[in-house]
Amino acid sequence: MADGAPMLSSHHSRFIMVMTVFWLVLSPCVSSSFSSLVSNLKPEGQFAPAAPSISSPSDMTYENGTVNKKIVWNSTDPSPKNYTVTRNGTIHKSGSWSGGAIEVLLNHLYTEKLVSTLPALFVFVCKVFNTSNESVSDEVLVTLIADTTSPIISAPANFSYEEGSFGHTVTWNITESNPDFYNVTRTSNETTSNRTVVKSGQFYGANISINVDGLNATHWYVYTLFVNDTLKHNATSSVNVTVYLDVTPPTVTQPDDLTFEFGSRGHKIVWHVYDSNPKNYTVRVTTLYTNSSYGNVSAFHSPTNITMASWTFIDPEGNDVTTSLDSIFLGNYTFTILLFDKYGRNNTDSLNVTIYKDIRAPVVTGKAYLGYEEGYKGNYLNWSADESNPRSYNLTRDGAVLMNGTWRGENLSVNVDRLSVGIHVYNMTLTDFFNQSAVTVTTVNVTADAHIPTVSGFAVIQSFTTGYANNLTVQVYCWDINNISSIRVEWGLDTNHTVNATMQSQGRDLYSASLGEYAVGSIVVYRVIAVDNSSMKNVHTTPWMTVVVTSMLQEESPGYLWGLLLALGLLSSLIIAMLYFRTKSR
């Protein structure tokens, strides 16, 4: 070694070697290289994930101009990602894929003017990818051919109808890829209607309908549809409509005779009537027997006649003529409807209505028994009744009148919460206008509260007073369906020498009480006694519980520990100084 070159002691050499090894272990370069090596040694997976699946729709060939065609690919994968659809090698649409069906509407071939010559071939390829970048694809060929066929028309059969009737239409169902124009002409043996264009315009491919109401009798009418497409192909279809004279009288249904109790409501007569040329009708009432003094006469009346001078309707099937029978005097009546058309033809129907006396008391539905435990709420008695002539009600409880008044037939209800423990008898009397009464007796049995109060959520709060003692406060949650009559806490240093205090409500079923000051290290025992407000005054006495009074001061570190740390600091400073001066002297 040359003179003047610094020499390293064996201690220095060992120190440098240790530091070098330490650096190699912790160096990011070495760590990453080692990790790569380990990862390269890992065995390859035994099972490769499956690629997505995709359906294979059939190739399509259709006439140029046909609309609303589409391709639908159904594809699935547990981890779908995205898709692309190309048309003749160019991306048509793409985006994220959630595993559902992928649709391509083919109307865009027209809107984007992609068809220049026929036949035209388009190759659509759908390709789907999963999150592992595995993919699957399917190809569909779409061929558009020239429209060489005329419009296809499906026509209804010839038909006839009576003069004056309405709601008659002729509808043609048409199939055409390239619709253009249409018109409908009418030919008839009625000279004023011959060779008349009744409808025409642009044809968009939809079905075509015309209304043929209002034609004259004893004539025939031929309606001819002409349609063509944009390639000048055309088709026609004709329907013959014949109108015959109205030679029939009005029609009317024949409802059954009616019988019901005086005062009963909701009864009515309903005739369904029809005529092609209606004119008028009347409803006449013949009184066979009546008693205008029976019942609450101010609320009843005699039946009245009805005259409809102009009878019309908007439903092609006719209309209903309805007569209400509510509030009619006791009696026996015949109701007759007489209908006329414009040609003087008529029809009639009669039925008998019998209203008999109210000879029954109200029919009442209500409970015979109801039981509940003291303190529980939501208990009701309900009464409903069937009565044509209601007048009054009277409700007693244990013989005393609870409520009464005018009864108009409505349901009645009363709340029976907060009753005293025992048996209570409710008597509901319903009376009708003819002093016929029905009595329903209900027994309500209120049983005593069988549950002790709930006491839970115990907590003892210690608060600092001095370095050697804490104040103790007990908190609990206490609840009972009949509320709490009293709650107190009992405590002491043992169960044989205790004191007690009433706990104070803090709201929301929370109660607390102070136990006073106790020295650190003391073991305090306590329990809670709660009494509910029921007739039984149920008591809940909790088991004895304990709490250890702990110091609230922060613990100081031992003196010997501070001395040891000081000695180590001085020793470290001495070693550093020795190394410094030793190195400097070389």
Provide the whole-model pTM.
0.65
Fold of 53-145: Immunoglobulin-like (2.60.40)
Note the pLDDT tens digit of each residue in 40-63.
Answer: 434 444 445 578 999 999 999 988
Distance CA(101)–CA(54), nearest Å, equals: 9
Question: Strand pairing partners for 269?
Answer: 323
Residue 24: its pLDDT value, please?
41
Token pair of 220 as six digits: 């025939």
Q: State the average pLDDT over residues 523-539.
A: 97
Contacts of 547 (CB under 8 A, 6+ apart): 460, 462, 472, 523, 524, 526
DSSP 155: -
Residue 27: its pLDDT value, please?
45
In 3-state terms, what secondary structure has residue 342? coil
- 8 A C-beta contact, residue 531 and residue 537: yes
The alpha carbon of 486 is separated from its chain's Cα centroid by a whole number of angstroms, namely 47
Q: pLDDT > 90: what percent of the chain?
A: 79
**Sheet with 159-162, edge to edge strand ranges:** 159-162, 234-244, 219-229, 179-188, 196-202
Place of tokens 């409880």: 397
Residue 42: its pLDDT value, please?
41
Place of tokens 């399917």: 138
Distance CA(482)–CA(486), nearest Å, equals: 12
Place of tokens 């006073």: 516
Q: What is the CA radius of gyration of the chain?
A: 51
Residue 165: its pLDDT value, please?
96
Note the pLDDT tens digit of each residue in 420-457.
Answer: 999 999 999 999 999 999 999 999 999 999 999 999 99
Local confidence band at 91 (pLDDT 50, 70, 90 cut-offs): very high
CATH number for the segment(s) 363-447: 2.60.40.10
Residue 278: its pLDDT value, please?
98
Note the pLDDT tens digit of each residue in 277-302.
Answer: 999 999 999 999 999 999 999 999 99
Note the pLDDT tens digit of each residue in 173-194.
Answer: 999 989 999 999 999 998 877 7
Residue 34: its pLDDT value, please?
38
pLDDT at 557 over 60: no
pLDDT at 117 over 70: yes
Place of tokens 């760590």: 31
Residue 25: its pLDDT value, please?
39
DSSP 3: T
pLDDT at 342 over 50: yes
pLDDT at 479 over 90: yes
List C-alpha distances in Å: 249 to 126, 279, 343, 405, 444: 69, 11, 9, 56, 67
Q: Give the mean pLDDT of the chain.
A: 90
- Classify the phi-psi angles of 403: left when phi > 0, otherwise alpha if psi is within -120 to 50, otherwise beta: beta
Fold of 252-356: Immunoglobulin-like (2.60.40)
Q: State the average pLDDT over residues 536-550.
A: 97
Can you give the residue ranges of every domain in the chain?
53-145, 152-244, 252-356, 363-447, 454-548
Note the pLDDT tens digit of each residue in 212-246.
Answer: 999 999 999 999 999 999 888 999 999 999 999 99
Residue 559: its pLDDT value, please?
61
Same fold for the domain at 252-356 and the one at 454-548? yes
CATH classification of 152-244, choosing from 2.60.120.560, 1.10.20.140, 2.70.170.10, 2.60.40.10?
2.60.40.10
The beta strand positions in 399-436, using DSSP E, are 400-406, 412-415, 422-432
Interaxial angle between packed helices 10-26 and 28-41, expressed in degrees from 0 to 180 and rounded to the nearest 10: 50
Q: Which of 60, 71, 72, 62 is nearest to 176 (CA)?
A: 62
- 8 A C-beta contact, residue 522 and residue 471: no
Residue 352: its pLDDT value, please?
99
- 8 A C-beta contact, residue 107 and residue 144: no
pLDDT at 586 over 70: no
* DSSP helix, strand, coil percent of the chain (3-state; round to 5): 10, 50, 35
Residue 15: its pLDDT value, please?
45
CATH classification of 454-548, choosing from 2.60.40.10, 3.40.350.10, 1.10.150.80, 3.90.650.10?
2.60.40.10
Query: Is the torsion defined by CA of 66, 67, 68, 71 positive or negative?
Result: positive
